Structure 1
Amino acid sequence: MQNERLPSECDVIVIGSGIAGLTATALLAKSGLSVVLLEKQSRPGGYFMGFKRKGFVFDSSIQWLNGCNATGFVGRIFEYIGSDYPKCIMSDRIRRYKGESFDYLLTSDPYELRDRLIYDFPAETEGIKRFFEDCKKIGVHFGKLNGCLRANQTMPEIERMIFGIKMLAWAVPVWKYLRISAEKGLDRYFKNNEIKKIFCSEEKFMSIIMPIGWVFVNDLLFPPEGGAEVFVKWLCGKIYNSSSRIFLNSSVKNVLLKNKTAAGVSLSDGRFINSRYIIAACDVENLYERMLPEGAVHSKMIRRLREADLYCSSVTIFIGLDCDASALGLYGELLYLTADNIPRKDHAGGDPYKNSLVIQSPSARDKTLAPEGKSTMTIHCSARIDYGDFWKTDKNMERGKAYGEFKRKYADILIERVEKSFGINIKKHIEVIEIATPVTYWRYTGNRNGSAMGASPTDKNIRNRLAHYKTPVKNLFLGGHWAEYGGGMPMAVKAASNASLMILEKTNKEEYEKLRNIMDFK
């Protein structure tokens, strides 16, 4: 991989080898274009990058996936790249809601949870039934978006108008759910505050009903056997079976312009490569403020990006246990552990004593992830990069002794909370432990503040039109999660597909039409 010489030119340069950059490269390589994918790290994958310690295999950040089943648009795009794409795992145990006063399990049949709630809260029977039926309707309704994968920037004016009308018609039935708070949404169904506690950590009502809706339509899945990194290996294999190539340890310093048009890049080690097109599947602020010449992007856009509402980052504790996870009461589901009777905002405020936690044992679903008789466990929570004086780093976020001590104390608190909640002793079973903070995620992905998914779909961001594909520089496109609102694998694949489509429209009409039809579910 690294012994190959960087070519002097190619058709397309892709910056960043997260799932978006890899997908865009694979799509364009399939069309016959020569693509060079540049990645500053020593391994590809971004947030899909896994790692191994003493026989234990961990996913860096992926907990669950959607859009990856046979009818989802991720599955459809991957099927187009190759029918041998990794298939996600379906599980009977999906999500467990556990607080100090409740413990409920969402299975692959959501009506089991419905019936349990009716048994425990008989006075709320009518509201519980309406709630679950509305969750099902939401799941089915969002499935209709599978045929709306293309961005309007890929459409001619008349088609764009028709698409706008279609999306407006789609939004009408779900408008009452889209922008209401969790409190207001729950009040529509329930009077008893005890049942509302089950959903105490989410701030938006959609965050409560969407996961249940996805389960109704078999679209809340877990990574394939071997972990999420098998997607990375599969895409890399497709790229290497073409004329395109991936170059690691290759940090882009500048995007080169000729007559205000993207013409190539220079690397931090002094190498250059020319190209006709560039897809930036990387942090957009880094692209606009550091890689492009001053003045290439209007100062108003720079200011809006600096002031954007971003998704927060996270802390993840990766643990290798010397016992089977079932001995500790873990069976593969996502376990959401919450504190009772605290303000909703505190569940994601950064305080390790209050933050809601997501706990799981991936090896309970996939035995290949741990040595025989042993298991993996992860503890995850939302966090900000400025917490605790930037995690006790110095002004340049350099990590020293204070950083290591601070993150270990933070992790100890989270582990002790899990131990207390389950009445178990985790620490005596630990063989391997690694701790990732927002500083870790910032270092490995380059995303500002270690953001998990870029720009959040807030009113301010939408008004400022932060999500976009076409940059102020001709032939330079965004193709990562900054091109869309929201994040995760679906938005990354959507962004990669649309950026690729825009290039194919200019370079290969036949391949453009093939990909367009795939994205339109024709």
Structure 2
Amino acid sequence: MKDFDVIVIGSGIGGLVSAGMLTSQGLKTLMIERHITPGGYLSSFRKKGFVFDSAVDCISGVGPDGLIYKTLELLNVNRDVNFIRIDPIRVSMFPNLEITIDGDVNAYMDKLTASFPPEATAIKSFFERAGRVYNELQSALSAIISGRLELNTITPDVLRLMDVSYGELLNDFFKDYRLKAVLSDRCPFIGLPPSGVSAVAMFNMIMSYFKLGAYRSTGGFQKLADVFIEGIKKNGGKVIFGNGVKKILLDRDDNCNGVRCENGEEYTASYIVSNADFNHTFRCFLGGKYSVLADALVYNPGITTSFFIVYAGIEGNIDTHSSIGYFPSYDMEKFFTSDMFFREDSTIGITIASIEDNSRAPDSCSTVVLHEMTGSSDKNLDKADCLEKIMKKAGNIIPLTEDKIIVLDAATSQTLERYTGNFKGAAFGWRQIPGFRGIRRHGIRNLYIAGHWGDMGGGVLAAAYSGAKVAGEILAKEGIKDVI
């Protein structure tokens, strides 16, 4: 008899959603996390009274209709964490143009139409199509999670757009290069330029914020991860921290039999869910012939960019928008080239979460988090020099003077890799390139991959859907359907 029904390796949002769904339906579940706290990229930290989210600006899916909220509801802990809706979602600053991204897509369309009157008809048609594609994707995802996917659920239009780049799609609709750049302002959220990212991936990410809202967790996203753990435990799940998995154990037929931990303890289970990055899963936990799969995936589709992140605690209240995208030019393709990182004319993202959530900073103070795209695990970075350049650039956008800085810290791609285990600090897992259909089959019938190294793409909500998809497949095998 197995020790557990399911073992979940890793406690990023994909692992948390998967373990939450499985535990809520009575499956005996063990979650193993090598760090002493859960969350992965959802983690937060405190310094001198300031609370900083390690990597995330805002997320969707935590409103009453969202997948993450529904999973918390299954665990009966949905009232144990509070969310603040961010509206406007973001402000994008371009040369001589500032566009506010309202939570209401119609209000956003009105702003775009006012700025680009000749494109009014195209703007309407573009968002009508984006809405249709998003709704069709949601129907397919719901069918997958419920265990009732049928072949005709995904329409020919969605299948075709999976092979089309977002840049190609923009060219089909619009003539004004500035408008195409404005509509690409969320590309840094997925780690690819318009020409390199799937149109479906971008539609899904953009529309999720309009349909489900943009939110932050009160007091930091660590609270969300912690509440998930509380819910998993309350529903009978077991969680181990500070003792990572060293090996996935296979039987003679190459089916998973269990895991061996770093301290030598072994646990058996009928199913294994890995929320660890692909490199650990295939090269370290499995090894041997499975290492080849890791090598192949690095080649195609490849991994996304990482970030250099600055955390600043500032004396004084900063009166501006809480999420800002700064783009010194309209050349969105150029921002994703390696020679553009850490230049005066490179793009950065700014998050000032203390504007809506004063629990994140001492009285009359502000938290500022700056994101600059960078290559994965660039070991030649001069951390102090990069920090200085980013602070100088940000100081041209928001008030940041040296004498007002109380806390100043930074994370490189190597820092992100060390604390989250993500290969080379990749921010969004696999590149969501046109034609990407998910990771190649590994042939192990009871091993599942959850998170942004799975089939659903990068970003918090996509990683959550990946975890839900895995849980839905396991539950269906156990005769349990229509959980969410």
Q: Compute the displacement of 1:215 (Å).
A: 5.3
- 1:204 correspondence with 2:199: no
Q: Compute the displacement of 1:445 (Å).
A: 1.5
Contact 1:321 1:432 in 2 (8 A): yes
Q: Show CA shifts across 1:264-283 (max 9, x none).
A: 21122222222232111111
Which 5+ residue runs of structure 1 have no aligned equivalent? 1-7, 393-405
Query: Residues 505-516 of structure 1 correspond to what in structure 2 (within 5 A)?
Result: 505-507=476-478, 509=479, 512-515=480-483
Compute the TM-score of the two structures, normalised by the length of structure 1.
0.80
Q: Compute the displacement of 1:336 (Å).
A: 0.8
- 1:76 correspondence with 2:76: no
- Given the superposition, is the C-alpha separation of residues 373 and 178 from structure 1 closer, same or farther in structure 2, using an over 3 Å criterion? farther
Q: Show CA shifts across 1:354-387 (max 9, x none).
A: 3311112101011111112111111112211254
* Residue 488 (structure 1) aligned to one of 428, 439, 459: 459
- Given the superposition, is the C-alpha separation of residues 290 and 138 from structure 1 closer, same or farther in structure 2, using an over 3 Å criterion? same
Q: Which residue pairs with 1:143 in the alignment?
A: 135
Secondary structure, counterpart of 1:13 in structure 2: strand
* Residue 466 (structure 1) aligned to one of 417, 439, 445: 439
Amino acid at match of 2:139: G
Distance 1:490 1:72 in 2: 9
Distance 1:139 1:87 in 2: 28
RCO comparison, higher one (Cα < 8 Å, 6+): 2
Identity score, percent:
21
Q: Which residue pairs with 2:431 in the alignment?
A: 456
- Given the superposition, is the C-alpha separation of residues 57 and 467 from structure 1 closer, same or farther in structure 2, using an over 3 Å criterion? farther
- Given the superposition, is the C-alpha separation of residues 65 and 452 from structure 1 closer, same or farther in structure 2, using an over 3 Å criterion? same
Compute the TM-score of the two structures, normalised by the length of structure 2.
0.86
* Residue 104 (structure 1) aligned to one of 99, 106, 116: 99
Q: Which residue pairs with 1:238 in the alignment?
A: 231
* Residue 64 (structure 1) aligned to one of 49, 58, 63: 58
- 1:336 correspondence with 2:325: yes
Q: Compute the displacement of 1:246 (Å).
A: 1.3
* Residue 285 (structure 1) aligned to one of 276, 279, 290: 279
Q: Which residue pairs with 1:412 in the alignment?
A: 388
Contact 2:62 2:215 in 1 (8 A): no
Structure with bigger gyration radius: 1
Q: Which residue pairs with 2:411 in the alignment?
A: 436
Amino acid at match of 1:267: C
Q: Show CA shifts across 1:255-300 (max 9, x none).
A: 11222221221122222222232111111222111211523x384x
Contact 1:285 1:448 in 2 (8 A): yes
Q: Show CA shifts across 1:44-86 (max 9, x none).
A: 1111111111111111111121233323333333333334364
Q: Which residue pairs with 2:170 in the alignment?
A: 185
Contact 1:79 1:85 in 2 (8 A): no
* Residue 151 (structure 2) aligned to one of 164, 168, 186: 164
Which 5+ residue runs of structure 2 have no aligned equivalent? 188-192
Query: Residues 189-338 of structure 1 correspond to what in structure 2 (within 5 A)?
Result: 189-191=174-176, 193=177, 195-196=179-180, 198-199=182-183, 202=187, 203-204=193-194, 206=199, 213-214=207-208, 216-217=210-211, 219-259=212-252, 260-295=254-289, 297=290, 299=292, 301-308=293-300, 309-326=302-319, 330-332=320-322, 334-338=323-327
* Residue 90 (structure 2) aligned to one of 95, 102, 115: 95
- Given the superposition, is the C-alpha separation of residues 285 and 204 from structure 1 closer, same or farther in structure 2, using an over 3 Å criterion? same
Secondary structure, counterpart of 1:226 in structure 2: coil
Amino acid at match of 2:452: H
Contact 2:342 2:389 in 1 (8 A): yes
Amino acid at match of 1:368: S
More moved, 18-27 vs 348-357: 348-357
Query: Residues 4-15 of structure 1 correspond to what in structure 2 (within 5 A)?
Result: 9-15=3-9
Q: Show CA shifts across 1:457-502 (max 9, x none).
A: 224643xx5266xx42342222232221412222222222222233
Q: Which residue pairs with 2:366 in the alignment?
A: 375
Aligned length: 468
Contact 1:455 1:461 in 2 (8 A): no
Distance 1:27 1:364 in 2: 34
